[in-house]
Amino acid sequence: DADVTQTPRNRITKTGKRIMLECSQTKGHDRMYWYRQDPGLGLRLIYYSFDVKDINKGEISDGYSVSRQAQAKFSLSLESAIPNQTALYFCATSDSSSSTDRYYGYTFGSGTRLTVV
């Protein structure tokens, strides 16, 4: 099994629908992140969480919400999907131990390709 699992891998949804993207990890990492990738725009940070009780907005959090249900699970929700949220979404994890190598040593999931029609 992959260290960081994203479900679903692909999803097509209609405008206005609520959709949840899920991320689970077996790395034992305490930090988790959601990024979206758009052609020509790179990866942009949506939300990040440093532990179960800590949620932080990234640069493009509008229209999104997150839930950290457990240390290993971090879900991203689109409350009312719109076409410009069509993108490739990545979940990543890292470890906040004192070792710099680990807290910036991201492990990425394989991505969820979301299409809003």
Partner 1 sequence: AQSVTQPDIHITVSEGASLELRCNYSYGATPYLFWYVQSPGQGLQLLLKYFSGDTLVQGIKGFEAEFKRSQSSFNLRKPSVHWSDAAEYFCAVGARQAGTALIFGKGTTLSVSS
Which positions lie near partner 1, rule CB under 8 A?
Answer: 33, 35, 40-45, 48, 50, 56, 58, 90, 96, 100-101, 103-106, 108-111
17 vs 36: CA distance, rounded Å? 19
Q: Chain-centre distance of CA 80, in angstroms?
A: 17
Please state the closest distance from residue 15 (CB atom) to partner 1, in A.
Answer: 26
Q: Which is nearer to partner 1, 19 or 31 (CB)?
A: 31
Q: Which is nearer to partner 1, 12 or 16 (CB)?
A: 12
Q: Which is nearer to partner 1, 12 or 17 (CB)?
A: 12
Please state the closest distance from residue 36 (CB atom) to partner 1, in A.
Answer: 11
Q: Which is nearer to partner 1, 20 or 45 (CB)?
A: 45
By the 8 A CB rule, do 86 and 115 touch?
Answer: yes
By the 8 A CB rule, do 94 and 105 touch?
Answer: yes
100 vs 109: CA distance, rounded Å? 21
5 vs 3: CA distance, rounded Å? 6
Please state the closest distance from residue 1 (CB atom) to partner 1, in A.
Answer: 15
